[in-house]
Structure 1
């Protein structure tokens, strides 16, 4: 095999394909990238029995062939090369990379031992990549990071006709985001549980390339994403996701509206004195909300900012990290807090002005922290 390709093109392709390789693969060949050169095209692929990634780039192919080479090492080498064309050539069980005065010799792996890559399912529909990427970023903050509860490390995708609803929870908070798409089959009704880590990678690496194709297998075992010539598949998380939609209250008699950026900064400042596992308290009253943290002989902080309250005065306390992450996910000028009673979860939603209706396409439900008497 022998080919020539621009360094920047090769480095970007290798880095993207190798991004999901496990640092401790179950078998050595799964640490490799499968590279095929044929008819002016270079294809790169990776697979770890759970996630696969594939892409093609143009290349000047002098001799066709296939090699399997260490993915992470190749990515490191490509990023370190000078900005110039890279020539790659195999000789026996060695592959040589030459770029100006730099030369690397790498050992190849037996490509015959590499597992067959999964066949991507047929495309189920298309979604705007940037809109999907934003939706994912707003939801994955609520996904659990505890691998002992694998179901909660996933994001549930509920698809009903032209609407995709993303849901995630770690038992202390819940995020719901709706985004429209163009399904191939009108009236489609299905669901999938995708690892939050996988969706995050898709959002970061495929979301900016325009339309994003989503493919779901009929047996609900595999999901695929494709955009800009890049394709990735992932096994779905197995198990029944809890029915978390029921946690959203049917009615909320108390509403408070606060300017988002002002509240984010106030929470950040007051949280500086919130010791580990202590809460930030929020006291809503007519015209303002007062935030405070710290107790007794320890450091204390308080700050009052403008707020609009509709309903009775209410005081609640929240984990400052969960509160900050939730507020940071909103890009609206105002956020709206919808309460039932102090011990019950609060629903935070977007609002474009201080007295308008809230938008419900993104909702962040947060459990209060019990306050000491």
Structure 2
């Protein structure tokens, strides 16, 4: 595996995927990020069994296709100190090297066979303005429960209505209740009418 990419693009992708990595985990591979280079794009993925993140970078030059699993937070630290410009990443035996403009770093490769399968992404049901969605989540999350013995109350209920073109988010801890409704554009005529789902208010990011 070998690819060339701009430092800023690599750093942004690694930072995004690393958000879901656990701070401490009894399973070492869950601290890893999966890098897959093929078809003219680099994919960076991470998960912690509760949430997963996946991002594709289209402007990567793939020199040798392949995939590798490395410690995500260490790779993020390397990306922060790399010089600006193009960097080259490659698997060399049991090491993953990152080099650019005279700087060179190496990371040990984690066993791919021990890494759990990433969940498949659900079909796209529609679109919503990112800033409005983030603000709505922040508003209703304040009312979500923090008691793990009542897991149903630690989440945010998300309802989609393609007929009215609205998304409704709601949360409660039995003492407080918060609800926000915002515009939502369905991906198809049958996408999301009357559907609902729950997400953990304290969880990570899906991707």
TM-score, normalized by length of structure 2? 0.88
> CA offset at residue 88 of structure 1?
1.0
> CA offset at residue 8 of structure 1?
0.9
**Structure 2 residue aligned with 1:23:** 23
Q: Is the 8 A contact 2:125 2:191 kept in 1?
A: no
Q: 1 CA distance for matches of 2:195 and 2:124?
A: 14
Do residues 178 (structure 1) and 184 (structure 2) align?
Answer: no
Give per-residue Cα distances to partners, 1:15-40, cap 9 Å, x unaligned.
10011111223422111111111232
Q: 2 CA distance for matches of 1:50 and 1:177?
A: 24
Q: Is the 8 A contact 2:160 2:192 kept in 1?
A: no
- Secondary structure, aligned partner of 1:197: coil
**Structure 2 residue aligned with 1:91:** 92
**Structure 2 residue aligned with 1:143:** 144
- Secondary structure, aligned partner of 1:29: helix
Structure with larger Rg: 1
**Structure 1 residue aligned with 2:195:** 190
- Secondary structure, aligned partner of 2:125: strand
Q: Is the 8 A contact 2:166 2:181 kept in 1?
A: yes
Q: 1 CA distance for matches of 2:110 and 2:183?
A: 44
**Structure 2 residue aligned with 1:66:** 67
Q: 1 CA distance for matches of 2:167 and 2:65?
A: 43
Q: 1 CA distance for matches of 2:170 and 2:4?
A: 45
Return closer, same or farther for 1:28/1:186 CA change in 2, 3 Å cut-off: closer
Q: 1 CA distance for matches of 2:197 and 2:16?
A: 24
Q: Is the 8 A contact 2:95 2:107 kept in 1?
A: yes
Which aligned pairs between 1:1-373 and structure 2 lie closer than 5 A?
Answer: 1-57=1-57, 58-160=59-161, 161=163, 162-183=165-186, 184=188, 185=190, 188-198=193-203, 232=207
Task: Give the structure, 1 or 2, with the largest relative contact order (CA under 8 Å, sep 6 or more).
Answer: 2
Q: 1 CA distance for matches of 2:137 and 2:45?
A: 25
Q: Is the 8 A contact 2:126 2:191 kept in 1?
A: no
Structure 1: unaligned runs, 5 residues or longer: 203-223, 225-231, 233-373
> CA offset at residue 128 of structure 1?
2.4
Q: 2 CA distance for matches of 1:63 and 1:163?
A: 45
Return closer, same or farther for 1:186/1:33 CA change in 2, 3 Å cut-off: closer
TM-score, normalized by length of structure 1? 0.51
- Secondary structure, aligned partner of 2:52: strand
Return closer, same or farther for 1:82/1:196 CA change in 2, 3 Å cut-off: same
Return closer, same or farther for 1:159/1:40 CA change in 2, 3 Å cut-off: closer
Over the residues paired in the alignment, what is the CA RMSD in angstroms?
1.9
Structure 2: unaligned runs, 5 residues or longer: none
